[in-house]
Structure 1
Amino acid sequence: MTAPVRVRVVHRFSSDPATVFAALGEHENLGKIFAPFKITRLNDGSTSRNGAGSARTLRLGPVAFVETVTNAVPDELIEYAITSGVTPLRGHWGKQVLAPTSDGGTELIYTIGFNAIAPGLAAAIGVGLSNGIKRGLPKLVP
């Protein structure tokens, strides 16, 4: 198994944390960030539509896996992990921390951690993820 990789992206939105949280939490919106993956909602969370327990499938060709929200604190935090599927990633998790900015916007710190099944693969995927997230976040909300 290769060494763990961490991807960390910091992004500022002009929108408030409630708006950003709502956009990030809505599984179907994540296609804007993770294109060309096709994202499909599997189920709602135990206490809210996009809360803990909600799940989505991400699919690209033969790669298809389920991500499940493990923790959600409205307007502050979303955590998730890959819980099943066919993927070269191992131990994949994501954490999105939102904080209000002094100008009424939001700062997002998005961290993803994972290993991969082959040497060098995790690093390559990490670069692609980082670049894709940086391109996609501005499309989510202003």
Structure 2
Amino acid sequence: MCSSGGVGLGVMRQWLDKWVLGPEFLLELPSTKLQIAPVYYCDNVEEGTKKPNNGCLSTQSISARQRRRKITKKTQVLGKLIPGGTKMNTSEMFQAASKDVRYLQAQVRLLELMGSVQEKCLVPKKFVETLAEDQDIQSNRSISEDLND
């Protein structure tokens, strides 16, 4: 068709526009959903990381890495709040934190119940016994009477 017969590019474009890309042809096409290909970042990849896909990372991979880092940071902060938390694995740390939270919630409920009672203080029994045996406290009659009641 394009040999020496003299059919030029202009004629070919007119034919394509009229028959292949004409408005009648486009109207008959079913609507398709637009699919967006994943975005890859190639330039700003951190040093020391694995680089799949020829050194590029997808946005999904970057987001997952950021989530993991955030979880790691929060877990480290929790480990500092839990006694011995830095020596525990994550599961043990969560169990200890859960136990501590339940204990603190029980203390809050107890203190709320005690709120109606005035001049009451919760002190460990052993501490009171130690105070009662102290010589300085025994010498003060008003304090020693209160401790022995």
Per residue, is there more helix in 1 or in 2? 2
**TM-score with structure 1 setting the length:** 0.20
- Between structure 1 and structure 2, the one with the greater Rg is 2
Q: Which has the higher contact order (CA 8 A, sep 6+)?
A: 1
